[in-house]
Each structure stands twice: as C-alpha cells, then as structure tokens.
C-alpha cells in the first residue's frame, strides 16, 4: 500500500486560488507517476495533472495555464496550485499514484492508478 495524505481544498469565489497538497512515501515520490484527478459524481472523472519520476509535468487542456504542479523533495510532497478558478473546476479532487514509465505518465492515465487519497472538495462559486 502506498500512503497518500491529502490536504487543502475548500471554497473560493470565481477567480480565486487554492492549493492542494499530497504527501507520499519516499519510494513512491522518487519512482512513481503521481498527480490529481477530479470528479463530480455521477459524471466521469477527469485527469488534471501528473508528474513523472523525472519531474516532467503534464496538464489537462482544461487547466493548462491556470494550475501548476510543484513539489517539495524534502517532504515527499506535491502541490497543485490552482489559480483563476472557475465554477466548472468545482469537484472532489483526488491525489493518485502508481508506477508508470515516464512516457505513459499522462493525465488521462491517472484514472487507472492503483493508489489514491481520500479526496478533498473544491467548490468555486460564481
């Protein structure tokens, strides 16, 4: 089992910012593909952003230019900085991780990852 400890989220007005964090084990941090996906039940989940073991980040087109995935190596923690939030960004956000070759570390691929956090609610009001 790979630990994933999420924090952050909350409510904000349109145009505001929020930051999510996700802490994991040293091994997963250094070797796995990791990122976030979001879901508004009962709709299908959507991959948001991922980072591979080499530090390359990929974003879904819907968040590109607004969201930034960063990391703190010493804390084995990744962060999703979400700026210029829109009401359509409202969802439950899940941190997830699994082993994937770097070329297969893609936002759409995160939906099949074996390990995920408990999820955190993000609500953006208009």
* Mean pLDDT (10-residue bins), the chain, 126 residues: 95 98 97 97 96 97 98 96 98 97 95 96 97
Query: Looking at residue 121, what is its pLDDT?
Result: 98
Query: Looking at residue 111, what is its pLDDT?
Result: 94
pLDDT per position as a tens digit, 20-52: 999 999 999 999 999 999 999 999 999 999 999
Query: Looking at residue 97, what is its pLDDT?
Result: 98
> Within a 13 Å sphere around the CA of 24, how many CA atoms are in the beta-carbon half?
25
Residue 100 near residue 86 (C-beta atoms within 8 A):
no
Query: Looking at residue 16, what is its pLDDT?
Result: 98
Dihedral class, residue 53 (left if φ above 0, else alpha if ψ from -120 to 50, else beta):
alpha
Locate 41 and state its tokens.
């039940």
């Amino acid at each position: 089992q790979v630990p994933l400890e999420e924090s952050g989220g909350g409510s904000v007005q349109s145009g505001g910012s929020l930051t999510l964090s996700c802490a994991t084990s040293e091994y997963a941090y250094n070797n796995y593909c990791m990122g976030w996906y979001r879901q508004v039940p009962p709709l299908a989940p959507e991959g948001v952003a991922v980072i591979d073991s080499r530090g390359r980040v990929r974003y879904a087109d819907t968040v590109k230019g607004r969201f930034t995935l960063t990391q703190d190596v010493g804390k084995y923690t990744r962060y999703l900085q979400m700026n210029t939030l829109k009401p359509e960004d409202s969802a439950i956000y899940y941190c997830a991780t699994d082993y994937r070759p770097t070329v297969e570390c893609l936002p759409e691929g995160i939906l099949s990852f074996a390990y995920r956090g408990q999820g955190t609610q993000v609500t953006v009001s208009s």
